[in-house]
Chain A
Amino acid sequence: MVNIILQIAGGIMLVSMVLSLYRFFKAGSLVDRVIAFDVMTIISISLIALITHISGRTIYIDVALIYGLLSFLGVIIIARYLEKSL
């Protein structure tokens, strides 16, 4: 029962990732692309947490933590660069 529900949740997350990938490729401006990238990284954190359940190894939570840290830093650096204050 738990397995089936979590597989459905993973499928929904993959669909939403494909939708934001569509926005990533069909963007109006550069900021649009960065937003789509940000949403994709946030969805990836949830997917990595689901991989914890699928593979049964709890080390993947640490991977998700570092991934969130790096994506936050990347978005901040891109925003500072766009503001010409880096």
Chain B
Amino acid sequence: METIKIIGAFITLLGSVFLLLGSIGLIRMPDVFTRIQAGTKASTLGTLLSLLGIGIIYLDIAGKIFLLIVFILITNPVSSHMLARAAHHIGVKKANITVVDKLAEFKKREKNDETQKPETT
């Protein structure tokens, strides 16, 4: 029983290390979009691992912790996706090393289609 608890504590420690890596990425990344990438992916995994460790230590509340894990796994990518779309919509400055921007190309093509429509009809 004691070894299982120690394993759970080490899983929590691993999760906190992932949270630290996410925060370091939040500081060192050059751009809003890369910061969303670092802040969301690393902190989602970190939170999942820490909650899993606590759930292994306290097996009687494992149901609630499983609910919390599923909830975070669903909601966290959704919120970061909404933030990235809003940032692209209000025209946040991208980094100089940005290679591809599919959403801007798509919006440009859509605008061209709209302007060409009255000419054809």
A binding-site residues for B, Cβ under 8 Å: 1-2, 5-6, 8-10, 12-13, 15-17, 19-20, 22-23, 28-29, 31-32, 34-36, 38-39, 42-43, 45-46, 49-50, 52-53, 58, 61-62, 64-65, 68-69, 72, 75-76, 78-80, 82-84
Majority DSSP secondary structure for residues of A touching B: helix
Q: Contacts A1-B6, A72-B79 hold; do A35 and B16 have CB atoms under 8 A apart?
A: no
Contact: B26 with A23, CB < 8 Å?
A: yes
Contact: A35 with B64, CB < 8 Å?
A: no
Contacts of B85 in A (CB 8 A): 79, 83
8 sampled A-B residue pairs with Cβ under 8 A? A29-B92, A35-B35, A38-B83, A42-B76, A45-B47, A52-B61, A76-B78, A83-B85
CA distance A5 to B10 in the complex (A): 7
Which chain A residue has the least Cβ–Cβ distance from B8?
A: A2
Give, as a whole number of angstroms, the nearest-CB distance from B42 to chain A: 9
CA distance A67 to B22 in the complex (A): 20
Report B36-84 residues with CB < 8 Å from chain A CB: 36, 39-40, 43-44, 46-47, 50-51, 54, 57-58, 60-61, 64-65, 67-68, 71-72, 75-76, 78-80, 82-83
Report B12-26 residues with CB < 8 Å from chain A CB: 12-13, 15-17, 19-20, 22-24, 26
CA distance A12 to B22 in the complex (A): 12
Contact: B12 with A50, CB < 8 Å?
A: yes
A-B contact count (CB 8 A): 173
Q: How many chain B residues touch A (Cβ–Cβ < 8 Å)?
A: 54
Give, as a whole number of angstroms, the nearest-CB distance from B63 to chain A: 10
Which chain B residue has the least Cβ–Cβ distance from A20?
A: B23
Give, as a whole number of angstroms, the nearest-CB distance from B57 to chain A: 7
Give, as a whole number of angstroms, the nearest-CB distance from A44 to chain B: 10
Contact: B61 with A22, CB < 8 Å?
A: no
Contact: B32 with A28, CB < 8 Å?
A: yes
Q: Contacts A5-B9, A46-B46 hold; do A58 and B58 have CB atoms under 8 A apart?
A: yes
